[in-house]
Structure 1
Amino acid sequence: MDKKQIHKIGKQINKPIKFIKKNAGMIATVFVSVGVPAILDKFVGKGKK
């Protein structure tokens, strides 16, 4: 593997990382709004039974 190939792979890996960083706030908001009620429901649901 030469430097050009390594650079190419690095660029491909970087694309999704850049996308996640750019949209991190939105992703976090969606994750929290979807994840927290689900997690709470699991804990609260277990407690009720």
Structure 2
Amino acid sequence: MPEKAQLQPGVYVGQFTASQLEDTFFDSTGWGKGQLFINGYNLGRYWPTAGPQ
């Protein structure tokens, strides 16, 4: 992943191996807005800050 956010849209592809079946989470700290897909499933959008509560 780049150190700083791009000013234009981009697609990033990566791999990971889950050694055990446990609860996991996606940490988007330091990233901009985007969508997360894993194994072709759209897990949803993410934003860098929380919206109004």
TM-score (norm 2): 0.21
TM-score (norm 1): 0.22
More strand per residue: 1 or 2? 2
Rg larger in structure:
1
More helix per residue: 1 or 2? 1
Report which structure shows greater RCO (CA 8 Å, sep ≥6).
2
